[in-house]
Structure 1
Amino acid sequence: MASTPGSLRDLYSSPPPDRTSWQFSPDPANPSQPATIPPISHPSSNWTPVVVNSPVLDASIIRDEHSVNANLVLKTVLASAIMQYTTSAIAMPWEVGKLLLQVQWVPNDAIEAEPEISGEESDTGESLRIQLSDSSSETYFQEPPTASGSQLSPSRDSRRRRSQQLPTRPSRESRSLRAEYVIPIGPTDGVWGMIKRLGRSRNEGWSSLWKGLLTACVTDAMSSAIQPLIHNSLLSIIGPSPSNSHPLLIPVLSHLATGLILSPLDLIRTRLIAQSAIPAYKHYVGPVDALSQILREEGGFKGVYLHPHLLIPAILENTLRPLITLGFPSALGRLVFVSPDSHFAAWSCVEFLASCAGLLVTLPVETIRRRLQVQVRGAAKPLRTCVQTRPKPYNGVVDVFWRILSEERSEPPLVYTRLRKKGKQPEKNRDGWYSSTGLGQLYRGFGMGVGASAIVLVLAAIAGNDDRNMGWTEL
């Protein structure tokens, strides 16, 4: 039996001369003698030390890291762009229908288009009848110089009787405004009704439901990127406000600044949607052409940003919308004694009611802004819109509000059908207080907004998410 050594020192072997020992700080007891620790040797494996200070290796590692980061960033940006474009494309038909309802001018004496005649035959026949009636209005009852009055009286009387049997036509001003590229005024059945009329129109078609899609997508993407930057900049300049003193100041200011910066894109989007889709009547080919024409004909960047018809509505909308969206739920919750810390269902109902009530304030301001955006300025030619607009320009925000209430109607217009063949007059609606004013014109799209809020409420209830920082979603 082999004897066991009494100490491990006998097993120690000095390191080979070609290995370099690790150097450490000297021993405090003996400063002149540096402390050394031999490197760990692996006799079973042959390895070569890696030279980490090689410039070639460093460059390859840096290139690999940069290439991975660039690919990741590119994939993230591409996925975000596709998601943003898809979301805007899904919501765009409703936005187009809502905007066309907001800019459409429905005067008190408007007559609805014939529901029984559609397509090219209706427009061609109606325009032909109007042209014949206008061209023959001066010579229809004139007596030829070679004929006697007794010979012409039966023909003249029969023609008069036939003209009296016809129903009342629209006014001369209404007839002159009804061009071939204008969609006839239909029943006020909401955004879905305008979507159907636009898609079934032979001049517009279903592709017109996505007019201005690229501009809307770019606007939403830039707004999502610019607003947080402005918010953080204001936080660094002003500093975080106390919890009980002006908590909405910085968010409202950031949304206002973002809306004012992107106001030219919103103007371009409105005009691209409102213009006719017929190539002969198109005013703008695309967003770049629209921006160049507006800058050239309507006063440049000063006219686009500082004109009162554009600046004042932009300030009103971009201030009221975030103020109501962020502050109104809390105010309503204090009235009904419900706080964000309460039950999730109760707070969701408060947010739903606050969103519906906020539409009562934001929709009239949005309608006024859309009508002033469609109206050109300077040396620009009037925009040929696919819906009927007011023939005379508005003079400002207050003028738009007053003209809508006093000149337009809320209920569907007079019904003008083929009953004229039987000698009957158009069916006239019973005008009440609401139908005889344009109050309903200020709230086109209210049902769509309530429906969107209801969908968000149902989805939140199904998901059961109790996250208080989600915020309210508004379409």
Structure 2
Amino acid sequence: MASHHSQFNQSPPNPLRPYYIPPPPVPFESSAPASSANTTYAAPSSYAILQDFHEYSSDYLDSPSAGEAIRRVLDQAILKYTSILISQPFEVAKTVLQCQYVPRKEGGRSKHHGPRGDTATTEEDVGDSEEEEAKEESEEDNPWTTFETEVCFYTQASLAPDTGPRKMTDRAGYVLEEKEAAPRPDYMIRKVNPSSVNDCLKALWAKEGVWGIWKGTNATFIHSVLVSTLEAWTTSFLSAVLSLPDPGVTEIADSTHPLASLGVAVAASALTALVLSPLDLIRTKLILTPASSKPRNLLPSLRTLPSYFIPPSLILPTTLHAVLPSFINLGTPYLLKAKLHLDPLLNPTAYNFLNFLSSSVELAVRLPLETVLRRAQIAEAKPERTIVPVGRYAGPIGTAWLIMKEEERGKWGIEGLYRGWRVGAWSNAGVLGLGLLGVQGGTTHEF
């Protein structure tokens, strides 16, 4: 046995492993139970292997079962539908205010519409006031002319026709009829304040009840789900084709090509809006038509369209409404992180405040585009009855010009393009408050 050990230790090293030192040999045990025990614990059992694999898969391979996946999708759908139920009355009121035609009111007797539609003081009124002041001064100087002046005044007043207050005329000189003087049809709601969402909700509730303020809820839910799903799929597809990181997985600010990823995300938003434009048109039509009009379901309403593709008149307003707000929303995190070097965890106050300013700018850009788009949609749908008189559509720029020049424009002159702005403003304020409290919002793509 000793000679065997010496031969083992003195064996030449393997040329392929010159630095390998073999371990000392294990002494031979003569007892059988000990050898059987060593054999039992030498190799792991199959149960231990399966247990280790299960622990590894539970830690690194998080793949829920089919039941859990379905339950998760149902929970997200219920949460989404509930949020739409809460916000739908305000969206209905905002859409009604945006499409409602509100003719401009006359301020006073010294105001008139000039050739460009603006209000100005006439030269005749200025001359009349100057003549009255001169007459008062002359009467004080010569009281004997008072009687003669009064006689002439009464004589001229008795012979002059009673024309009444001045009426608005067009450029050709014809008197314009007051449309609001005529009684409204039974299917229309009463005239509402164009700047009050609450007044519009009261009018809808008084006319149509619950069905009036929750119009188009199912269409809004389906449209919202399809927008998030199709936009995420389009973004992933374009990113894969162009060999870019998916903005849905990696943030644009962390991308290797942030500007290209931003362009892909904005393009996906525009393509999604163009594809789903017929569904958005039906949603607007369901909101602006009476609850008694037929059809009220989504599929029968889609069948009434001449085509399932976007009408040519809606391509430009739909593209503008999708591209510009998306560019501001998606480009803000890149600007704050990459250019201003602000982190939401390290600089929460500054980050949330600048994000609030960006949301306000996005709201200021989106509302005029949304107003023009809604009027274009209702003009394309051509419903027989609407709950309010709707304004005409004359292209994106022409419609905005008509709203500012022919309709009630408010104190600042542009409030006709920002009807229902309080809904978005309160939403942005709520997001700012939650951000300052440390509550982060949900992800954009929930489905």
Bucket of the pairwise TM-score, normalised by the shorter protein = 0.5 to 0.7
Contact 1:368/1:401 (8 A) holds in 2: yes
Correspondence for 1:228 among 227, 232, 242: 232
Give the whole-Å Cα distance in 2 for the aligned partners of 1:210 and 1:464.
29
User: Is residue 2:193 matched to residue 1:187?
Assistant: yes
Give the whole-Å Cα distance in 2 for the aligned partners of 1:76 and 1:471.
15
User: Is residue 2:268 matched to residue 1:268?
Assistant: no
Unaligned runs of 5+ in 2: 1-26, 48-63, 108-160, 169-175, 245-254
Correspondence for 2:343 among 335, 340, 343: 340
Q: Look up the match of 1:128.
A: none
CA drift at 1:383:
3.6
TM, length-normalised to structure 1: 0.61
CA drift at 1:472:
9.0
Give the whole-Å Cα distance in 1 for the aligned partners of 2:353 and 2:443.
13
Matches within 5 A, 1:372-411: 372-376=376-380, 382-390=383-391, 393-411=392-410
Partner SS, residue 211 of structure 2: helix
Q: Deviations over 1:125-154 (max 9, x none)?
A: xxxxxxxxxxxxxxxxxxxxxxxxxxxxxx
Correspondence for 1:11 among 27, 32, 35: 32
CA drift at 1:189:
4.1
Q: Quickly say closer, same or farther: Cα 1:407–1:317, change in 2 above 3 A.
A: same
CA-based RMSD of the aligned residues comes to 3.7
The percentage of aligned residue pairs carrying the same residue is: 28
Contact 2:289/2:383 (8 A) holds in 1: no
Contact 2:318/2:373 (8 A) holds in 1: yes
Correspondence for 2:100 among 99, 104, 111: 104
CA drift at 1:70:
3.3
Contact 2:239/2:261 (8 A) holds in 1: no
Q: Deviations over 1:176-199 (max 9, x none)?
A: 582222122222443223222222
Give the whole-Å Cα distance in 2 for the aligned partners of 1:110 and 1:270.
31
Contact 1:308/1:396 (8 A) holds in 2: no
Correspondence for 1:443 among 387, 406, 418: 418
CA drift at 1:387:
1.6
Q: Quickly say closer, same or farther: Cα 1:220–1:38, change in 2 above 3 A.
A: same
Q: Deviations over 1:24-47 (max 9, x none)?
A: xxxxxxxxxxxxx9778xxxxxxx
Partner SS, residue 30 of structure 2: helix
CA drift at 1:329:
5.9
Q: Quickly say closer, same or farther: Cα 1:238–1:216, change in 2 above 3 A.
A: same
Contact 1:215/1:265 (8 A) holds in 2: yes
Correspondence for 1:87 among 83, 87, 92: 83
- The one-letter amino acid paired with 2:262 is L
User: Is residue 2:71 matched to residue 1:75?
Assistant: yes
Partner SS, residue 65 of structure 2: helix
Q: Deviations over 1:296-325 (max 9, x none)?
A: xxx312xx41x2321111111111111011
Contact 2:102/2:194 (8 A) holds in 1: no
Contact 1:316/1:365 (8 A) holds in 2: yes
Give the whole-Å Cα distance in 2 for the aligned partners of 1:350 and 1:14.
75
Give the whole-Å Cα distance in 1 for the aligned partners of 2:31 and 2:337.
84
Q: Deviations over 1:403-431 (max 9, x none)?
A: 111210123xxxxxxxxxxxxxxxxxxxx
Q: Quickly say closer, same or farther: Cα 1:386–1:330, change in 2 above 3 A.
A: same
User: Is residue 2:327 matched to residue 1:323?
Assistant: yes
- The one-letter amino acid paired with 1:396 is G
Contact 2:103/2:408 (8 A) holds in 1: yes
CA drift at 1:174:
3.9
- The one-letter amino acid paired with 1:236 is A
CA drift at 1:86:
0.7
- The one-letter amino acid paired with 2:437 is I
Q: Quickly say closer, same or farther: Cα 1:13–1:367, change in 2 above 3 A.
A: closer
Give the whole-Å Cα distance in 2 for the aligned partners of 1:338 and 1:73.
38
User: Is residue 2:265 matched to residue 1:251?
Assistant: yes
Give the whole-Å Cα distance in 2 for the aligned partners of 1:472 and 1:82.
16
Moved more, 347-356 or 323-332: 323-332
Q: Look up the match of 1:292.
A: 303
CA drift at 1:369:
0.2
Instruction: Tell me how many residue pairs correspond in the alignment.
Output: 326
Give the whole-Å Cα distance in 1 for the aligned partners of 2:363 and 2:180.
32
Contact 1:364/1:443 (8 A) holds in 2: yes
CA drift at 1:175:
4.7
CA drift at 1:8:
4.0
CA drift at 1:251:
1.1
Give the whole-Å Cα distance in 1 for the aligned partners of 2:196 and 2:362.
19
Q: Look up the match of 1:130.
A: none
Contact 1:374/1:383 (8 A) holds in 2: no
Contact 2:284/2:378 (8 A) holds in 1: yes
- The one-letter amino acid paired with 2:242 is I
TM, length-normalised to structure 2: 0.64
Give the whole-Å Cα distance in 2 for the aligned partners of 1:231 and 1:242.
16
CA drift at 1:445:
2.0
Give the whole-Å Cα distance in 2 for the aligned partners of 1:245 and 1:395.
35
Contact 2:195/2:419 (8 A) holds in 1: no
Q: Look up the match of 1:209.
A: 213
Contact 2:285/2:383 (8 A) holds in 1: no
Q: Look up the match of 1:63.
A: none
Contact 2:289/2:386 (8 A) holds in 1: yes
Give the whole-Å Cα distance in 1 for the aligned partners of 2:30 and 2:337.
81
